[in-house]
Amino acid sequence: MTDHPTQPLPTVEPRRRGGGRLAAIIAGGVVLLAGGAYGAGYAMAGETLPPKTVIEGVPVGGLAPADAEAKLVQELAAKADAPMTLTSGEHAISKAPADLGLGVDAAGSVRQAATGKSFDPRVIWDNLTGGTDHPAVVARDDEKLAAAASELAQLVNAEPVNAELAMVEGTPTLTEGANGRTLDAAATQEALAEAYLHQTDVTAVVEENEPDITTAEAQETLDTVATPALSAPITVAAGDKTFEVTPEMIAPALTFEPADGSIKVNVDQDVLLEQATKSIAGLGLDEPKDASFTFEGGKPKIIPSVDGMGVDKEEFAKVVQEAMVKPSERTATVTVAQQKAKFTTEMAEKLGVKEITGEFTTYYPATAYRITNIGKSARLINGVLLKPGEVFDMNKVLGPRTLARGWAAGGAIDGGRVVERMGGGISQTTTTTFNAMFFAGLEDIYHKPHSLYFSRYPMGREATLDYNSVDMKFRNDTEYGVLMQAFTNNPKQGAQGSITVRVWSTKKYDVKATNPVQSNFKDPGPAIKDDSAICSPQSAMRGFTVTYNRQFFQNGKLVRTEPFKWTYNTLTPVECTNPNAKRDRIER
């Protein structure tokens, strides 16, 4: 065998057995699968929700929209229908969400979670594998939300209240202010809408507004002005003499008013001068005297005014106000000068008090208490002057009816029975005064007839009086002065007494009263049997209604008519059944 040099062996190509075809098939399969998934993802879009979709905590992935909506409605029902409470401080209102205009928009909630049709690979991928958490879409009715906010606002809203200073029993006293509150309707509506499905208690949005005068500002005025004003007396020099103004004199004259966001302390000039009158009198000045009226020969006569010396009230108030805030050296100086009377003779003459414009007389049995009380009341009324616009107040003129003031106890009506009261009988004076005013044509402010009818008075045209509960008032509504004149016939006990009241002025009207008309009669109840040791028998009286008119005439022509109406009660009879009872029947 012959050796040959080394030579490369020939390369033999491997035989193809179909491997390329398999790869092609696999690749084609992948493409087909991907294409199928892509197509499926596209097909799923809008038909079902992405698999991981959650709406307001409710899993709805893979569900058709209608099924997702139904599931949302079912599983959110408890939260969606839970009542909501809107609160501000101590005020609150509770309402169902439907009444607030709030609800779950299930269809809208599903629509926002769906991806929709798209060839975008990212959308297709989300349809196949994705989905996220979504809040529910809330349906809202702004009108209902606004109505709820408005309802609470009516409870919450309040105007700011200024702090105040006032004199209480001679002491300057602070009343604290308060912030105002305004409910912010728009913000509160948003708070309700945002809280829906998450919380049921919602705090309203409320703005607070400070008052113009805060408590701190009022306290500063109290500490720096009002309290020092009453800390010690003020010595006032007038010429070569002095007089003292005490805190007790200053206190009634102090007034407080809001001004530019603070409290201004003022001194009432007239009140201060009046309070210091006795102290000023110690100067020995020959002070001015006002004109006044008296009766001479049964007719008014003017007592002329007299000029004199005095202190000027404006200057006096000014220097006191300056000195009262000083912690020490509380002194002041005023000028003494000639002064005119405040109510001069000329002023009195211009009032036109010249003729009787109204007059009335009533009669009564002259018992001891009537002689005392009717006589005293007539003396108090006599000489009362009403300038134009001023009011006659019977209780103010007569004052409290007490034994110490010279009044006597007498008959009065209480609860349908005749009883004894201090000052009994002065209804006679009140009735007479009312009738004089009535025929003078003056303005009736208030009067109250008796609850029972007494024949000695004009039917319905009469007036009772009680210091604590019933007054009689009228106004001088003319441009003239009104001077009251009242007197009795000074009867002896057991005789017939009379009281006359006259109104002196300038006549504007001729006044007439129409005849009274009675109606609605009512009989009393059965007699009361009283077996007590002291018994006051009384007879029965019918009740009825009476009407009449006051007619005003000028130059013979009727120019005005004023109607009056009153209903009298029945008087139940009282029979004293105790044979040993003391008969204490009170004269009516």
Q: Measured between alpha carbons, how far is 506 from 573 in angstroms, rounded to an integer?
A: 48
Complete DSSP assignment for 239-264: TTEEEEE-HHHHGGGEEEEEETTEEE
| Mean pLDDT calculated for residue range 187-194 | 95
- Residue 559: the pLDDT is 98
Beta-strand pair 528-530/409-414: unpaired
Complete DSSP assignment for 186-218: HHHHHHHHHHTTT-SEEE--EEEE--SS-HHHH
- Residue 187: the pLDDT is 96
Instruction: Tally Cβ neighbours within 10 Å of residue 288.
Output: 18
Residue 41 confidence (pLDDT) above 60: no
Cβ-contact 513, 489 below 8 angstroms: no
- Residue 93: the pLDDT is 95
Q: 105-119, 177-191, 291-305, 469-483: lowest mean pLDDT where? A: 105-119
- In the chain, the largest separation of any two C-alpha atoms, in whole Å, equals 195
Residue 119 confidence (pLDDT) above 90: no
| Mean pLDDT calculated for residue range 418-446 | 92
Average pLDDT, the chain: 88
Complete DSSP assignment for 100-159: HTEEE-HHHHHHHH---S---HHHHHHHHH---EEPPPEEE-HHHHHHHHHHHHHHH-B-
Residue 29 confidence (pLDDT) above 60: no
Q: Measured between alpha carbons, how far is 126 from 117 in angstroms, rounded to an integer?
A: 12
Structure tokens at 295: 């009766």
In the chain, pLDDT over 70 holds for what percent of residues?
87
pLDDT band at 47 (very low <50, low <70, confident <90, very high): confident
Could you give the C-alpha distances from 310 to 289, 314, 318, 335, 338, in angstroms and in order? 11, 12, 16, 8, 6
Q: Report which of 203, 215, 205, 204 is spatially closest to residue 160, judged by C-alpha positions.
A: 215
pTM for this structure?
A: 0.61
pLDDT band at 127 (very low <50, low <70, confident <90, very high): low
Q: Is 360 exposed, middle or buried (0-12, 13-18, 19+ CB in 10 A)?
A: buried
Say whether 271 sits in a helix, a strand or coil.
helix
Residue 587 confidence (pLDDT) above 80: no
- Residue 124: the pLDDT is 65
Residue with the larger pLDDT of the pair 47 and 517: 517
- Residue 155: the pLDDT is 94
pLDDT band at 411 (very low <50, low <70, confident <90, very high): confident
| Mean pLDDT calculated for residue range 11-16 | 39
Euclidean distance between the first and final Cα of the chain, in Å?
Answer: 181
Convert the pLDDT of each residue in 210-219 to its tens digit: 999 999 999 9
Cβ-contact 418, 425 below 8 angstroms: no
Give 531's Cβ-side CA count (13 Å radius): 0
- Residue 36: the pLDDT is 46
Residue with the larger pLDDT of the pair 19 and 379: 379
The residues that bridge with 28 in the sheet, in sequence order, are none
- Residue 345: the pLDDT is 97
- Residue 115: the pLDDT is 73
pLDDT band at 131 (very low <50, low <70, confident <90, very high): confident
| Mean pLDDT calculated for residue range 223-247 | 95
pLDDT band at 423 (very low <50, low <70, confident <90, very high): confident
Q: Helix 106-113 vs helix 65-75: angle between axes, to the nearest 10 degrees?
A: 130
Phi and psi dihedrals of 514, rounded to 5? -75, 160
Q: Measured between alpha carbons, how far is 259 from 262 in angstroms, rounded to an integer?
A: 5
Convert the pLDDT of each residue in 478-528 to its tens digit: 999 999 999 999 999 999 999 999 999 999 999 999 999 999 999 998 998
User: Domains in the chain, start-ordered, CATH in brackets?
Assistant: 35-210 (no CATH), 216-343 (3.10.20), 351-583 (no CATH)
- Residue 16: the pLDDT is 42
| Mean pLDDT calculated for residue range 548-573 | 96
| Mean pLDDT calculated for residue range 246-256 | 96
* Most confident listed range (25-29, 121-125, 540-544): 540-544
Q: Measured between alpha carbons, how far is 208 from 389 in angstroms, rounded to an integer?
A: 45
What's the chain's Rg over C-alpha atoms?
48
pLDDT band at 123 (very low <50, low <70, confident <90, very high): low
Instruction: Tally Cβ neighbours within 10 Å of residue 394.
Output: 24
Residue 35 confidence (pLDDT) above 50: no
The residues that bridge with 102 in the sheet, in sequence order, are 140
Beta-strand pair 91-95/206-209: unpaired
In the chain, pLDDT over 90 holds for what percent of residues?
76
